[in-house]
């Protein structure tokens, strides 16, 4: 089976090849964490950044601009591991700043009728993104200005929460919806259907299944890039290999009379003996977070993954079977994993339920004996029995305490 790497653009530094488990681990924790993330932090940080623009003079207060930019950037990196590599976080932040800048300019008279000249617009944009303006080429800047000229602030979009990062918000809503309808076996109304049957149901209801066009390539061995080994860094070992190639004619691979291998080749043979997995690498080119999330969801469907909500912390986790109720994670302020706490709590609840049932049985025999003694009528006993079973259920569910239940039994 090929090793999967995601190819991410890093500009002039060349592409980065990120191992699949770094972005889409088998536990799918990056996906679940993405759903739990508080996007209010991102909105607030962006609002603080936009406050540096004086819409009257169109000048940006640069005093604390660097800190505010860094704050948005760092929060983005916590949204999903995808934003920790390459220029992903910077590109997302720049796009959000442009949208908000265009909105502010449009609302302050620099819209359709009185558009700013390109030079002035780029000057204002540079007030927010000086490093980005220097880094990007003229084509990128042309696109920035084009987006400003064509900007159409639709009311229904502007009023939506998280407009700055609308694409991320939309992706989050879609992922949450797909997990609920297809993979979450904590949902009793759907748990009798298989993952594949639920996927069919989802497509019938929402009709928004992802059509992904992936650009894939394959390499023999580990891919080389920004986070891989340096392509042009030669060592003494490389020099010896080069000499070996120069004398390749000495090695007639259809003959038993080859010259002895040099020491460097023997060393590499020893190293090769340690390899136990496929040397083939599958490279998938990823252009944005939404594309990565879609790939992960499709892989989950293909692998028939089932998930549940932990009965202790409430977070999603991959369930190995339908009996799993607790995750291996840690709830806030807990020093033990949910599986350990949950098992202990389940045992305590079982003991408590057994105790409650024992109390009811004891009281039941006492009240039944009263009928024989003529101290209670059968009709009154039946009424007590029905009410007693309801009280027993309330005690088991924690609606009343065991002491309150015991006090009622003694009435």
Tokens read off for 113: 């009728």
For 265-296, the DSSP string reads: HHHHHHHHTT--S--EEEEEE--SHHHHHHHH
The more confidently predicted of residues 111 and 81 is 81
Q: Are 196 and 303 in contact (CB under 8 A)?
A: no
Does the pLDDT value for residue 31 go beyond 70? yes
Instruction: Say whether both 10 and 40 belong to one domain.
Output: yes
Does the pLDDT value for residue 149 go beyond 50? yes
Instruction: Say whether both 110 and 236 belong to one domain.
Output: no
Does the residue 286 lie in any domain? yes
Instruction: Say whether both 174 and 252 belong to one domain.
Output: no
For 67-93, the DSSP string reads: HHHHHHHHHHHHH-GGGGSTTHHHHHH
Per-residue pLDDT tens for 310-367?
988 889 999 988 888 899 888 888 888 888 887 767 656 655 557 787 888 888 888 8
CA distance to 166, 352, 360, 403, 405, per residue, from 411 (Å): 61, 21, 13, 13, 10
Per-residue pLDDT tens for 173-225?
999 999 999 999 999 999 999 999 999 999 999 887 666 677 788 877 766 65
Q: Examine the fold and report which residue of 292, 325, 358 is the final residue of a domain before the chain moves on.
A: 325
Instruction: Say whether both 188 and 274 belong to one domain.
Output: no
* pLDDT at residue 182, as a whole number: 95
Q: Examine the fold and report which residue of 325, 360, 384 is the final residue of a domain before the chain moves on.
A: 325
Does the residue 239 lie in any domain? yes
The more confidently predicted of residues 383 and 265 is 383
d(CA 51, CA 40): 17
Q: What is the mean pLDDT of residues 36-60?
A: 74
Instruction: Say whether both 101 and 216 belong to one domain.
Output: yes
* pLDDT at residue 411, as a whole number: 61
For 193-246, the DSSP string reads: S-HHHHHHHHHHHH--------EEEEEESS--STTS--TT---HHHHHHHHHHH
Instruction: Say whether both 305 and 350 belong to one domain.
Output: no
Does the residue 380 lie in any domain? yes
Does the residue 331 lie in any domain? no
User: Taking the CA of residue 194 as centre, how many other CA atoms within 13 Å lie in the half-sphere pointing to its CB?
Assistant: 6
Binning pLDDT at 50, 70 and 90, where does residue 161 land? very low
Q: Are 174 and 311 in contact (CB under 8 A)?
A: no
Tokens read off for 233: 């860094």
Does the pLDDT value for residue 237 go beyond 80? no
Lowest mean pLDDT among 90-94, 105-109, 240-244, 368-372: 240-244
Instruction: Say whether both 102 and 50 belong to one domain.
Output: yes
Q: Are 306 and 193 in contact (CB under 8 A)?
A: no
* pLDDT at residue 160, as a whole number: 43
Domain region containing 79: 1-221+280-325
Instruction: Say whether both 76 and 116 belong to one domain.
Output: yes
Q: What is the DSSP letter of 4?
A: E
Query: Mean pLDDT over all residues of the chain?
Result: 79
The more confidently predicted of residues 145 and 240 is 145
Instruction: Say whether both 183 and 68 belong to one domain.
Output: yes
Does the residue 134 lie in any domain? yes
- pTM here is 0.69
The more confidently predicted of residues 281 and 256 is 281
Binning pLDDT at 50, 70 and 90, where does residue 23 land? very high
Binning pLDDT at 50, 70 and 90, where does residue 42 land? confident
Instruction: Say whether both 153 and 18 belong to one domain.
Output: yes
Does the residue 330 lie in any domain? no
Instruction: Say whether both 313 and 192 belong to one domain.
Output: yes
Residue the block writes with tokens 């060592």:
235
The more confidently predicted of residues 38 and 268 is 38
Q: What is the DSSP letter of 6?
A: E
Q: What is the mean pLDDT of residues 239-263?
A: 61
The more confidently predicted of residues 291 and 345 is 291
Binning pLDDT at 50, 70 and 90, where does residue 155 land? very low
The more confidently predicted of residues 90 and 77 is 77
Instruction: Say whether both 243 and 306 belong to one domain.
Output: no
Domain count, the chain: 3
């Amino acid at each position: 089976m090929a090793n999967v790497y995601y190819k991410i653009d890093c500009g002039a530094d060349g592409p980065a090849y990120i191992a699949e488990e770094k972005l889409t681990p088998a536990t799918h924790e990056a996906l679940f964490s993405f759903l739990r993330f508080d996007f209010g932090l991102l909105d607030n940080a962006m609002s603080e950044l936009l406050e540096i623009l004086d819409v009257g003079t169109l000048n940006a207060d640069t005093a604390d601009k660097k800190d505010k930019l860094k704050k948005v950037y760092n929060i983005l990196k916590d949204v999903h591991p995808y934003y920790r590599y390459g220029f992903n976080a910077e590109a997302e932040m720049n796009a959000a700043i442009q949208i908000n800048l265009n909105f502010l300019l449009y609302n302050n008279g620099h819209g359709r009728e009185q558009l700013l000249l390109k030079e002035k617009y780029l000057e204002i944009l540079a007030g927010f993104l000086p490093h980005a303006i220097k880094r990007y080429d003229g084509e990128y800047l042309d696109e920035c200005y084009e987006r400003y000229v064509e900007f159409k602030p639709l009311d229904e979009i502007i009023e939506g929460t998280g407009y700055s990062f609308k694409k991320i918000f939309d992706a989050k809503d879609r992922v949450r919806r797909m997990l609920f309808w297809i993979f979450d076996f904590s949902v009793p109304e759907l748990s009798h259907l298989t993952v594949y049957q639920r996927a069919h149901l989802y497509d019938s209801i929402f009709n928004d299944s992802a059509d992904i066009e992936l650009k894939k390539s394959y390499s023999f061995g580990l891919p080389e890039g920004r986070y891989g080994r340096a392509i042009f860094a030669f060592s003494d070992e490389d020099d010896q290999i080069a000499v070996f190639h120069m004398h390749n004619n000495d090695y007639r691979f259809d003959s038993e009379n080859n010259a002895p291998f040099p020491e460097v080749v023997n060393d590499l043979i020893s190293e090769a003996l340690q390899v136990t997995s496929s040397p083939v690498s599958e490279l998938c080119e990823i252009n944005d977070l939404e594309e990565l999330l879609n790939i992960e969801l499709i892989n989950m469907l293909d692998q028939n993954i089932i998930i549940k909500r932990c009965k202790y912390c409430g977070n999603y986790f991959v369930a190995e079977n339908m009996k799993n109720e607790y995750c291996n994670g840690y709830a806030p302020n807990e020093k033990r994993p949910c599986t350990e706490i949950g098992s202990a709590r389940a045992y305590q609840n079982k003991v408590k339920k057994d105790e409650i049932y024992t109390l009811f049985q004891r009281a039941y025999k006492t009240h039944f004996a009263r009928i024989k003694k003529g101290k209670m009528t059968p009709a009154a006993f039946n009424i007590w029995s029905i009410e007693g079973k309801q009280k027993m259920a309330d005690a088991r569910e924690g609606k009343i305490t065991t002491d309150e239940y015991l006090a009622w039994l003694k009435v």
